């Protein structure tokens, strides 16, 4: 398209007597724009495996990974799992999995401060989660936030928004949140 416009500009310039010295406005426009791969539009194989380990229903996946590890925007169907297809979740589908709000949800596990990895560990005392879920970007990282009362560890966060949500789901699951029963917990009273 740019090449055609550039050629057209030169033709019109000559026809109208503008001469050869008229700069081509598209001369600096690259004929092919560099294509950057779309990154992080859905969970990868490892993130999907972690979500399934948390008890997330694979039928909630709005995409799927093919046996060749390419992303398909078709919704996942469990019947395809025997052919090597696996579920993949977009960011919007992942956010739908998170509880929209929590009221005094007890937590005894956390991402301890001053650790380099994202290993969930036991807290010394119980804290409570309250409030509405928030996904926000700060200091180069995406974070999932509720009101983490008494939470002195690290918020589930990553440079990748999808990874931040997966970390939050893993943390909620480790604290007994039941993702099969929305707005309910499976914590024993």
Q: What pLDDT, on a 0 to 100 scale, did the predictor assign at position 54?
A: 93
Q: How confident is the model at residue 32 (pLDDT cuts 50, 70, 90)?
A: very low
Phi, psi of 140, rounded to the nearest 5 degrees? 80, 10
Q: How confident is the model at residue 42 (pLDDT cuts 50, 70, 90)?
A: very high
Q: What pLDDT, on a 0 to 100 scale, did the predictor assign at position 35?
A: 36
Q: What pLDDT, on a 0 to 100 scale, did the predictor assign at position 18?
A: 52
The sign of the torsion formed by the CA atoms of 37, 167, 149, 110 equals negative
Phi, psi of 95, rounded to the nearest 5 degrees? -65, -30
Tell me the average pLDDT of the chain: 74
Cβ-defined contacts of 1-5 (< 8 Å, 24+): 2/26, 2/29, 2/30, 2/31, 3/31
User: What is the average per-residue pLDDT within 51-68?
Assistant: 94
Q: Say if CB 117 and CB 167 are below 8 A apart.
A: no
Give the residue with greater pLDDT, 55 vs 149: 55
Give the residue with greater pLDDT, 29 vs 131: 131
Q: How confident is the model at residue 161 (pLDDT cuts 50, 70, 90)?
A: very high
| This prediction's pTM | 0.70
Give the residue with greater pLDDT, 185 vs 124: 124
**β-pairing, 141-149 with 120-138?**
antiparallel
> Lowest-confidence range among 4-8, 56-60, 74-78, 89-93?
4-8
Q: What pLDDT, on a 0 to 100 scale, did the predictor assign at position 115?
A: 62
Note the Cα 70 to chain centre separation in Å.
17
């Amino acid at each position: 398209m740019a090449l055609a416009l550039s050629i057209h500009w030169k033709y019109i310039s000559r026809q109208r007597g503008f001469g050869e010295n008229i700069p081509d406005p598209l001369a600096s426009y690259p004929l092919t724009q560099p294509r950057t791969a779309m990154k992080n539009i859905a969970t990868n194989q490892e993130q999907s495996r972690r979500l399934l380990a948390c008890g997330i229903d694979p039928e909630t996946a709005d995409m799927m990974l093919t046996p060749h590890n390419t992303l398909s925007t078709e919704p996942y169907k469990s019947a395809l799992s025997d052919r090597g297809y696996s579920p993949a979740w977009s960011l919007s589908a992942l956010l739908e999995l998170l509880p929209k709000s929590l009221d005094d949800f007890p937590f005894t596990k956390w991402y301890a401060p001053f650790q380099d990895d994202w290993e969930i560990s036991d807290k010394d005392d119980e804290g409570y989660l309250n409030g509405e879920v928030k996904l926000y970007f700060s200091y180069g990282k995406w974070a999932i936030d509720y009101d983490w009362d008494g939470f002195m560890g690290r918020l589930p966060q990553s440079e990748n928004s999808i990874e931040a949500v997966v970390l939050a789901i893993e943390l909620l699951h480790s604290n007994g949140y039941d993702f099969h029963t929305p707005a309910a917990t499976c914590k024993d009273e």
